[in-house]
Each structure stands twice: as C-alpha cells, then as structure tokens.
Amino acid sequence: MQEILDLHNQGKLDKYQEEWFVPTKPQEELYDVLNDPDELHNLADDPAYTNKLEELRAAFQTWTKEVGDLGTLDEKDMLLKWWNGKETPPTTATPILTKVKDGYRLTCETEGASIGYKILNEGEELKKQIVPQYSFDMMWTYGVPNGNDTKIDTPWSIYKDGDILHLQPGQQLLVNAKRIGYITAEKNFTIE
C-alpha cells in the first residue's frame, strides 16, 4: 500500500492503477480473476459477459436475503443495530474453561465471538516483541510514526471450536473473547 501511494504521488501509475484513487466506483464490477488477478479491467459493461453478470447478481441477491448486508447502512446505524439500539457496545461474554477427559476446552456464550489464547509456563511473563509500525497494521498501536519500531504483544493463538488444550499444573492460560462491535472480554486461568 505504501508503494502504491508513493507511485500515485509521483504520477507513476498507469490509467488502470490510478482508478484505485477515483472517488466514485461503478455500481457493479466484474473481473476475470484468472486472466486479470489485479482486477484492473472491469467487464461489467462488456456484452460478452452479460450472462455471467446476471448469474452473479442473482447469487448476490440470494445471499443478501439469506445473510443480510449491513454495507448499505450508515456506520452509526450499523453500530446501533449491533448494540441492540443502545448507545454503548455490549461486552463479549467471559470465556469459559472446562475440564474434559483429555484436557481443557474453551467456550464463549457470545454468538460469533472469536477466542484467542496464550499459555504461559510457571514464572513466565507476557512478552512483547519489537516490530516496525505501518499505517496499514490495523490499529495495533496509535501515535507511532509510520515505519518506526514499536512494542506489541507476541502473537496469540486462535482457539478452534472443539480443540482440546493440554495444560499442565502451574501454567497460566490467558484468554480473550472478541466480537466485532463488542467490548473484549478477558480471563486468566491458573491451572492447578
């Protein structure tokens, strides 16, 4: 992204690459991703692709009816919908650790929540790693100039439903449960 921004500012993009910076986009876009993996040539208005466009339009309309499409909502209205009409976000339910025959399982009662975890051995502390910070790093940190080093948590593992964690006495299990639009719930467990 940084490279394309630099090339744009230098006027070195071709007409297709420059389309990324056009403030309005066509209502429909259709690309042959096998022959045009960078999606530079919109085929939506090409008569040779009318049948494919109609097929994909019908599939999209079916999907929208089944799943819903919040993309048409104003962001504030979307948040109110997620927050059940309240002005503040709900909190994700606290993660639950359950002892099972072969180890431990994690659950969260908030539908759609993702669970992350870290296992620390007895006496081990949460570690940070130093990484360069870039504007496209999805809000890891704030206030760090682009390209400068910053400290962030070492990566968390993603818990997959039904996984069994093999934990030993004395280990600490750090868990967080997240759902987009909700406040994150955190819980630390010490295995006895």
pLDDT 10s digits, 101-115: 999 999 999 999 999
Q: Above 80 in pLDDT, residue 122?
A: yes
Q: What is the pLDDT, as a whole number, of residue 34?
A: 94
Condensed to tens digits (0 to 9), the pLDDT of residues 73-97 reads 888 888 787 788 888 889 999 999 9
Q: Above 60 in pLDDT, residue 138?
A: no
3-state secondary structure the chain: CHHHHHHHHCCCCCHHHHHHHCCCCCCCCCCCCCCCCCCCCCCCCCHHHHHHHHHHHHHHHHHHHHHCCHHHCCHHHHHHHHCCCCCCCCECCCCEEEEECCEEEEECCCCCCEEEEEEECCCCCCCEEEEECCCCCCCCCCCCCCCCEEEEECCCEEECCCCCECCCCCCEEEEEEECCCCECEEEEEECC
Q: What is the pLDDT, as a whole number, of residue 140?
A: 44
Answering whether pTM is above 0.75, one says no
Instruction: Kindly indicate the confidence band of residue 45, based on its pLDDT and cuts at 50, 70 and 90.
Output: very high
